[in-house]
């Protein structure tokens, strides 16, 4: 049957519309990239806990999640976790605690609990307080420990050794009719021992871990053989506020200096009492602070 031109065109348009409409519908289904409800990742790191993403946003890739995850703080080597927070009277002192308080009335006695973990020695450093004293007491028998009634103006740093079982407390009080401000800082003693030898140049990383008092209260100890020498010279490089002292290697109580010498930029002559003995050079900060150092041990006799 022959169709009129108008009807033929109308039929052609209708046919094209139907075909095109099916094509569009089919194309829409194929082109939509529907995000999966659950993503399985091969990354072995522990997942980072986060808030759920909005429904309309695509989930982040495992690689991006790993990049945005916070890195854990590096573990501190050679000492307990410290705290630099200020502690009020009646509070607990830990390694790194600072105190800045005031005696406001005559006869006032401020008390602090000591909680130093496994440490048995600590420094009371940065001491200030005219006419004000402190003392450590054992909670077991209420007897004083260490030095008796030490003035907070006695020096920059003083070590206290805990010799009894049980808890301890630190008390602060003034001389008769004395009031006023006082302050101090707590730093536990942390000793490291390194092998050394006459002729060795000691500095940061040589031997491994040496050359830096990395935390307050750090003491570095270098053991060496006399190897027949009657004396040695220690040649110190530039540094700030670092002392050095010679001990017998058998001596383990080294927190309190006896005859220290300033290390920084100095040449120090030290006599060895026995040519076959072992000795230890002890490096410390007299103020229980951090700092870098380097020196060389040379034969002097």
Q: Read off the pLDDT of residues 19-65 as tens digits, 9 standing for 90 and up.
A: 334 333 333 333 333 333 332 333 333 333 333 333 343 444 434 43
SS3 30: helix
- Where b means 16+ CB within 10 Å and e means fewer, 168-197 reads bbbbbbbeeebeeebbbbbbbbbbbebebe
Distance CA 167, CA 186 (A): 16
Distance CA 59, CA 39 (A): 8
Count of CB atoms situated within 10 Å of the CB of 222: 23
Q: Which helix (H) or strand (E) is 6 found in, with range?
A: helix 5-31
Phi, psi of 10 (to 5 degrees): -65, -45
Q: Which helix (H) or strand (E) is 20 found in, with range?
A: helix 5-31
- To the nearest whole number, what is the mean pLDDT of the chain? 78
The token pair at 196 is 């050394």
**Number of helical (H) and strand (E) elements in the chain, helices listed first:** 2, 20
Contact of 215 with 290, CB cutoff 8 Å = yes
Distance CA 151, CA 77 (A): 33
Question: What is the DSSP-derived secondary structure letter of residue 4?
Answer: P
Distance CA 96, CA 167 (A): 18
Contacts of 179 (CB under 8 A, 6+ apart): 102, 103, 104, 105, 106, 108
Q: What is the CA radius of gyration of the chain?
A: 36
Q: What is the DSSP string of 189-219?
A: -EEEEEE--TT-EEBTTBSTT-SEE-STTEE
Distance CA 282, CA 192 (A): 10
SS3 25: helix
Per-residue HEC secondary structure of 44-105 comes to CCCCCCCCCCCCCCCCCCHHHHHHHCCCCCCCCCCCCCCCCCECCCCCEECCCCEEEEEECC
The token pair at 92 is 């607990």
Contacts of 77 (CB under 8 A, 6+ apart): 209, 214
Domains of the chain as residue ranges with CATH: 92-188 (2.60.120.380), 190-299 (2.60.120.380)
pLDDT in tens, the chain (301 residues): 444 444 433 333 333 333 334 333 333 333 333 333 332 333 333 333 333 333 343 444 434 433 333 333 333 333 444 556 899 999 999 999 999 999 999 999 999 999 999 999 999 999 999 999 999 999 999 999 988 778 998 777 899 999 998 999 999 999 999 999 999 999 999 999 999 999 999 999 999 999 999 999 999 999 999 989 999 999 999 999 999 999 999 998 999 899 999 999 999 999 998 666 999 999 999 999 999 999 999 999 6
């Amino acid at each position: 049957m022959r169709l009129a031109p108008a009807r033929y065109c109308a039929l052609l348009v209708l046919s094209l519309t139907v075909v095109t409409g099916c094509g569009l519908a089919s194309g829409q289904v194929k082109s939509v990239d529907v995000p999966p409800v659950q993503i399985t990742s091969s990354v072995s790191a522990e997942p980072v806990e986060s808030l759920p993403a909005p429904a309309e946003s695509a989930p982040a890739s495992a690689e991006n999640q790993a990049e945005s995850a916070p890195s854990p703080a590096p573990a501190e080597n050679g000492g307990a976790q410290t705290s630099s927070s200020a502690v009020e009277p009646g509070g607990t002192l830990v390694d790194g605690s600072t105190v800045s308080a005031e005696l406001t009335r005559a006869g006032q006695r401020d008390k602090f609990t000591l909680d130093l973990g496994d440490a048995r020695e600590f420094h009371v450093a940065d001491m200030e307080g005219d006419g004000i004293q402190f003392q450590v007491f054992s909670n077991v028998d209420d007897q004083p420990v260490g030095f008796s009634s030490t003035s907070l103006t006695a020096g920059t740093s003083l070590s206290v050794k805990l010799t009894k079982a049980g808890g301890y407390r630190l008390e602060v009080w003034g001389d008769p009719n004395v009031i006023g401000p006082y302050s101090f800082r707590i730093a536990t003693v942390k000793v490291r021992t390194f092998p050394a030898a006459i002729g060795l140049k000691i500095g940061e990383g040589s031997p491994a871990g040496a050359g830096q008092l990395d935390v307050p209260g750090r003491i570095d100890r270098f053991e060496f053989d006399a190897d027949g020498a009657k004396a040695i010279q220690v040649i110190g490089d530039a540094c700030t506020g670092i002392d050095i002292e010679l001990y017998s290697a058998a001596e383990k109580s080294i927190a309190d200096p006896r005859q220290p010498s300033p290390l920084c930029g100095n040449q120090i002559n030290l006599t060895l009492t026995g040519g076959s003995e072992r000795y230890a050079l002890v490096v410390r900060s007299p103020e229980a602070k951090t700092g870098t150092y380097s020196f060389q041990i040379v034969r002097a006799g």
